[in-house]
Structure 1
Amino acid sequence: MTAKYLLPEDWLAKISRFQVATASKLRGQHKGSHRSQRFGASLDFSDFREYHLGDDVRQIDWNVFARTDKYFIKRFLDEQEMRVHILLDATKSMGEDAKWLFARQIVASLGLMVLGRDDRLSFSFIQEDIKPPFRRKGAMYRRAFLQVVTDIEEASYSGSFAQGALKVLPKDSTVLFIVTDGLEPIEEWEQLLKRLPRYAGDVRIVQIITQEELAPHYSGDIRLLDRETGNDVNVTMSSKVLDTYHARRLLHEEEFEAICRRFGIRKLQLKVEDGLQYAIFQQFVKAHWIR
């Protein structure tokens, strides 16, 4: 299939034993593979409680009645599906080849975990023409999901990711993953993040960066092109210019971290050059985002 280039050949087998981990209360109304905090009709026994008028008499434990001469009913753990939404930043700043491939590989890996565990997956990205998100449940849709992610060939959205994100988000998610480089102005991120808890009980930002962004290697007189606006500027890359860049980048990161903490949102920074295996099997596991 055309999705083969997006992930290594043996990748599905490697991630099939993992699943998304969350302590958030599950919101799905359909049966799934996760224990919810509610009680229902699964086969896993929880405890007893006294019978009250209106309770299902079929749940009465007659063995307990024989011993105590009181009516008790059995309670069972309910099984509820997890609803996971993945939102991909497709603005032009994500368009550098290695970054864009890596971001889609992260999206694909997370989605395959969700679909392989009988949970409900939805996926969206911002584009010029708003389209319905991908929504499916079950392992039979893994190939279709891979194809959808593969077919997003370019990061070409010219607007603001932070300002447009809410237009493509469902409001019924258990876990919301946002895959982005986080380069939007802090003021725009703040306006978005403070509204996200109403969309999901567990919000996580996967920040994709490159070594070039962390430590530019340019020197001398160069022309820089802004991917977002298309504007260019001539710059002499002196040590002073580089120092100013590093200071501004660090300030942006500190402020980004601070607003994430303020709104109870977890953030994980992944460097493209570290590779997909390190990101999934080391960073995601260590952060307890998957298990």
Structure 2
Amino acid sequence: MKEKIINDEFISRLETISLHMQSQMKGYFGGDHRTKAYGNTVEFADFREYALGDDIRRIDWNLYSRFEKYFIKLFVDERQMHTQLFLDGSASMGKINRQKAEYAIRLLAALGYLSVRKMDKTSFMLMKGDYCEDLCGVVTGKEAFYLSTATLEEITFQESTDIEAAILNLRNPGKNDGLSVIISDFLTDSNWKKAVDYLLYHKRQVLLLQILSPEEIDPRYNGRTILKDCEAIDILDERNMKLHITKANYLAYKQALGDHRDDIKDFCSSRGIRFFSVDSSTSIEKLIFGQLMESGDVR
């Protein structure tokens, strides 16, 4: 990507908000989430080394005089969550359509920044084939986030992705310790619903974000057309299709796409999780400061 995936002007807007957990959850010391089960804010719990963005008023100067390192005080009711950001690495997400690819990567980065603002642990996971590639390790703090952006800028979309297998093969899915966001077009034969249920079984909160290009939402093809699947192996792949596109075909496609999105919505509603479908030609700001803020997923 030639441009920064997340520029200073956008970051200044993100500084006013952060990802919001819909319920109180168990985590680890060091974050900015609250739980009533473990005392109050004046109850001391532990120390950890200072990270960029921490409140300097919490620095323990006695420890600094002994170790010549900065440590901050932690309290019992502060919990560090682990945000998992899963990005679909399949070819349909951007091998051909760069606008869709850049939207997906910038959204990934923006959500990551909102997570590290709360001093939560953040993992950027690229789903490739039947596994998840951990792109940057566990990122904590703004300095580590900025270092990770160079890796995010190099993301490519090349393969066919099995969302179910990729998530079920996670070594450590976590347990009741944060939010899992899946970013995909969900144009797949993979049983992604089973992957969501797997995360819910591990008591993760889940958010689904569907990204579709304008061409996928409203295709403008007429007459005889060869539709090549960007994930097809070669020209003879059965996923490639020769069609004579008529108005009836167009209307049937629109109906099928609408039914597909309704199926995702119904599934998410049955599980009590949130789902948003966005057009990659619209601004990320519209999604974050519009839909996600209205739903309470960011505040």
2:182 match: 178
Instruction: Please say if residues 163 and 192 of structure 2, whose CA atoms lie closer than 8 Å, have aligned partners that are also in contact.
Output: no
Query: How far does residue 111 in structure 1 lie from its aligned partner after superposition?
Result: 0.4
1:143 match: 146
1:63 match: none
Stretch deviating more after TM superposition (124-133 or 230-239): 124-133
CA deviation string 1:83-112 (max 9, x = no partner): 211111111111221111101111100101
Instruction: Please say if residues 41 and 78 of structure 1, whose CA atoms lie closer than 8 Å, have aligned partners that are also in contact.
Output: yes
Q: The residue matched to 2:77 in structure 1 has which SS?
A: strand
Closer, same or farther: CA 267–38 of 1 in aligned 2, 3 Å = same
Closer, same or farther: CA 214–9 of 1 in aligned 2, 3 Å = same
What amino acid sits opposite 2:80 in the alignment?
E
- Counterpart mapping for 1:162-201 below 5 A: 162-168=164-170, 170-172=173-175, 173-185=177-189, 188-201=191-204
Distance 2:19 2:166 in 1: 26
Instruction: Please say if residues 29 and 76 of structure 2, whose CA atoms lie closer than 8 Å, have aligned partners that are also in contact.
Output: no
Instruction: Please say if residues 176 and 200 of structure 1, whose CA atoms lie closer than 8 Å, have aligned partners that are also in contact.
Output: no
- Counterpart mapping for 1:196-215 below 5 A: 196-215=199-218
Query: How far does residue 132 in structure 1 lie from its aligned partner after superposition?
Result: 4.0
Q: The residue matched to 1:30 in structure 2 has which SS?
A: strand
Q: The residue matched to 1:24 in structure 2 has which SS?
A: coil
2:232 aligns with one of 217, 224, 229: 229
Q: The residue matched to 1:227 in structure 2 has which SS?
A: coil
Q: The residue matched to 2:221 in structure 1 has which SS?
A: coil
2:291 aligns with one of 278, 283, 286: 283
2:68 match: none
**Equivalent residues, number:** 258
Gaps in structure 2 of 5+ consecutive residues:
44-74
What amino acid sits opposite 1:141 in the alignment?
A
Instruction: Please say if residues 123 and 134 of structure 2, whose CA atoms lie closer than 8 Å, have aligned partners that are also in contact.
Output: no
Distance 1:131 1:77 in 2: 33
Instruction: Please say if residues 211 and 277 of structure 2, whose CA atoms lie closer than 8 Å, have aligned partners that are also in contact.
Output: yes
Distance 2:204 2:164 in 1: 19
Q: The residue matched to 1:102 in structure 2 has which SS?
A: helix
- Counterpart mapping for 1:144-163 below 5 A: 144-152=147-155, 154-163=156-165
CA deviation string 1:176-203 (max 9, x = no partner): 1111111123x71332222220234310
What amino acid sits opposite 2:163 in the alignment?
F
Q: Does 1:111 align with 2:129?
A: no
- Identity among equivalent positions (%) equals 21
Distance 1:264 1:290 in 2: 17
- The alignment's TM-score, normalised by the length of structure 1, stands at 0.81
> Where does structure 1 differ by over 6 angstroms across 4 or more consecutive aligned residues?
none
Query: How far does residue 148 in structure 1 lie from its aligned partner after superposition?
Result: 2.1
1:33 match: 32
What amino acid sits opposite 2:278 in the alignment?
L
Closer, same or farther: CA 119–3 of 1 in aligned 2, 3 Å = farther
What amino acid sits opposite 1:15 in the alignment?
L
Larger Rg: 1
Closer, same or farther: CA 4–170 of 1 in aligned 2, 3 Å = farther
- The alignment's TM-score, normalised by the length of structure 2, stands at 0.79
1:249 match: 257
Closer, same or farther: CA 132–209 of 1 in aligned 2, 3 Å = closer
1:265 match: 273
Query: How far does residue 142 in structure 1 lie from its aligned partner after superposition?
Result: 1.6
Distance 1:135 1:157 in 2: 24
RMSD, matched Cα = 2.4
- Counterpart mapping for 1:129-140 below 5 A: 131-132=133-134, 134-140=137-143
